[in-house]
Amino acid sequence: MLDATNLLKASLEVGRDFLRPPQDGTEQREVKRSSPLLVPIRSLGVNHRTRIADHLLSLGAHDRYLRFGYAAQDEQIQRYVDNLNFEQDEIFGIYNRKLQLIAMAHLAHAADKNHGSCAEFGVSVLPAARGRGYGARLFERAAMHATNDGISLLFIHALSENAAMLKIARNAGARVERDGSESEAFLHLPRATLDSQVTEMLEEQVAQTDYRIKVQAKQFWSFLAEVQEVRRNAIEAQSRSSP
Neighbours of 53 (CB within 10 A): 18
178 forms bridges with which residues in the sheet?
183
Residue-by-residue DSSP string for 24-39: TTHHHHHHHSPPPSS-
104 forms bridges with which residues in the sheet?
93, 124
Decide: residue 242, CB within 10 A, 0-12 exposed, 13-18 middle, 19+ buried. Answer: exposed
Please tell me the predicted confidence (pLDDT) of residue 89. Answer: 94
Please tell me the predicted confidence (pLDDT) of residue 4. Answer: 41
CA 174 to chain centre: 21
Please tell me the predicted confidence (pLDDT) of residue 121. Answer: 96
Please state, in angstroms and rounded to a whole number, the distance separating the CA atoms of residues 93 and 243: 57
Q: What's the full length of the chain, in residues?
A: 243
Please state, in angstroms and rounded to a whole number, the distance separating the CA atoms of residues 207 and 8: 13
Residue type at 72 in one-letter notation: A
Strand 42-44's sheet: what is its strand order? Answer: 42-44, 90-95, 101-109, 118-125, 153-159, 182-188, 175-179
Q: Report in angstroms the alpha-carbon separations of 69 from 53, 91, 170, 207.
A: 18, 19, 19, 30
Please list the ranges in the chain whose pLDDT falls under 50. Answer: 1-5, 7-8, 11-12, 14-15, 18-19, 25-36
Please tell me the predicted confidence (pLDDT) of residue 214. Answer: 79
pTM: 0.75
Rg of the chain (C-alpha set):
21
Show Cβ contacts of residue 213 under 8 Å, excluding neighbours closer than 6 positions.
15, 18
